[in-house]
Amino acid sequence: MRDVAIIGVGAHPTGRFMDKPLKALAYPAIWGALDDAGVKVTDVNVAYVGNSLGGLLTGQEGVRGQVVLQHSGITGIPIVNVENACASAMTALRGAWLEVASGAADVALAVGVEKMNVGNNARTISALSGVSELDLSELGMQFTTSYAIHPKINLKSRMQEYGWTAADFAKPAVKNSYNGSLNPLAQHRKPLTIEEVVQSRVIVDPLTLLMCSSISDGAAAAVVCSADIATRFSSKMPIKIASCVLQSGVYRLPHDDRPDSATTSAYAAYEKAGIGPEDLDAIELHDAMAPSELMLYERLGLCSPGEGPKLIDEHVTTLDGRLPVNPSGGLCSRGHPVGATGLLQICELVWQMRGEAGKRQIEKRPKVTMAQNQGGLLLGQDSAVYGCTILKS
């Protein structure tokens, strides 16, 4: 396998863009990445396009990648459509990475795009329910419920087990809202207080509105190439993909004692990159519901069980901390256009590693970073998809 570098990234701002179809959302992200990389359309050998809900919500059930890329002037090359729920974009990146690592391509493009605002939130929520296995969603199970009480995450039981309070649950949202307030691409740019988060409307007890990522439109893209030719295109510092791991959920019976799949995917990524969690300088992780960030601290090996809130209290994971988490604002503040999120995480890490993150730039420029992305829900009590990418400069 060849070493692969990210040489360009681009993103569309995240938010509510009623007048923009998928291809219009993707266009600035794609050209942002191409221009950033210094590559021409004709340099791109292959493209992977991640999208989750576009079939149901826009009616473009098939060939969304080809439609989106033709609008941006990219035609003729192999284009692979990727659907992997909220980890669609990370899966697209993995496809692009594999193409180059294997030697099949020299330059590959990964795109993630999602349009969730269609003027009818009940429709969007129904579509989102469809990323759970149908046997669950047809009974009226909601995706938010999976975070509240699903055995795999069960934030409600963590309150009893660890003594976490509603204020603890609010801490990641507050931290990330500050980061998001500094991010011009973010959907929500108002810094929040603990009180505001706790007292916002209950969505699925114990989760309140401001603990939940919201309905978002957005897009992101990355250009990857063989590391040995990276400087041919651009004078910017290439960012090496040290590992790019994809796992699927496993069928778990109630008393399954195997390690959590977020853990196994992260540790597989650490191992392949030759690092441990202690080597990380910054993380973008999948805080689809803010308090799940606290769980992920444990599962990624950043702290002992129950210690999550301390990492925020002691300013470890804040923007000024030793290991900033979600400097972009994360899913709750930057926004969660589901099929774009994995690449939005990658964009943020690349900008941070290059020192291009503006007001939210981490003071000590990170050299080793990780993006953790997951999605979907299976009957076997696991998420459907787990993705973990480690970058090195």
Partner 1 sequence: MKILNPDNLRVSTEPGATPCLLGNRCQQCGTIVFPKMPVCPSCHRNGAMEEVEIGRTGRLYSHTIAHFAPKGFIAPSFQAFIDLPEGPRVFSLIGSKYPVERGVLEDGMEMRLIVEPLADTPEHRDELTYKYVPASKATRAKA
Closer to partner 1 at the Cβ: 196 or 356?
196
C-beta closer to partner 1: residue 169 or 270: 169
Q: Name the one residue in this structure whose structure tokens are 């291009």.
A: 356
CA–CA separation, 38 vs 340, rounded Å? 22
- Is 336 a residue of the active site? yes
Q: Which is nearer to partner 1, 205 or 228 (CB)?
A: 205
DSSP string, 21-35: -HHHHHHHHHHHHHH
Instruction: Quote the crossing angle between the two packed helices 64-71 and 22-37, to the nearest 10°.
Output: 60
Tell whether the torsion through CA atoms of 100, 101, 104 and 110 is positive or negative: negative
**Interface residues with partner 1 (CB under 8 A)?**
122-123, 125-126, 129, 135-142, 144-145, 148-151, 154, 156-157, 201-206, 251, 253-254, 379-381
C-beta of 251: minimal distance to partner 1 in Å?
4
DSSP summary character for residue 238: P
CB of 139 to partner 1, least distance (A): 6
Catalytic residue among 86, 225, 244, 388: 86
* Pairing of β 217-226 and β 107-115: antiparallel
Smallest gap, in angstroms, from Cβ of residue 347 to partner 1?
31
Provide, rounded to whole angstroms, the least separation between the CB of residue 50 and partner 1: 23
CB closer to partner 1, 90 vs 378: 378
| Nearer Cβ to partner 1 (208/317) | 208
| Angle, alpha carbons 219-223-228 (nearest 5°) | 165
Q: DSSP code of 205? A: T
The angle formed by the CA atoms of residues 62, 67 and 72, to the nearest 5 degrees, is 160
> What are the residues whose beta carbons fall under 8 Å from the beta carbon of 15, sequence distance 6 or more?
187, 216, 217, 218, 335
Shortest CB 13 distance to partner 1, Å: 26
User: Which among 170, 214, 209 has a CA at the least distance from the CA of 193?
Assistant: 170
CB of 162 to partner 1, least distance (A): 15
DSSP character at residue 227: G
The Cα–Cα gap between 379 and 135 comes to 7
Active site residue 86: yes
324, 317 contact by CB (below 8 A): yes
Nearer to partner 1, 184 or 201 (CB): 201
CB-CB contact of 89 with 340 (8 Å): yes
Taking the complex as a whole, the smallest distance from the CB of residue 227 to partner 1 amounts, in Å, to: 39
Instruction: Give the start-end residues of each E strand in the chain.
Output: 4-15, 46-50, 79-82, 107-115, 202-204, 207-208, 217-226, 239-248, 282-284, 368-375, 385-392
Could you say which of 212, 336, 347, 388 is catalytic?
336
Please say which residue, 138 or 228, places its beta carbon nearer to partner 1. Answer: 138
Q: Which residues are catalytic?
A: 86, 336
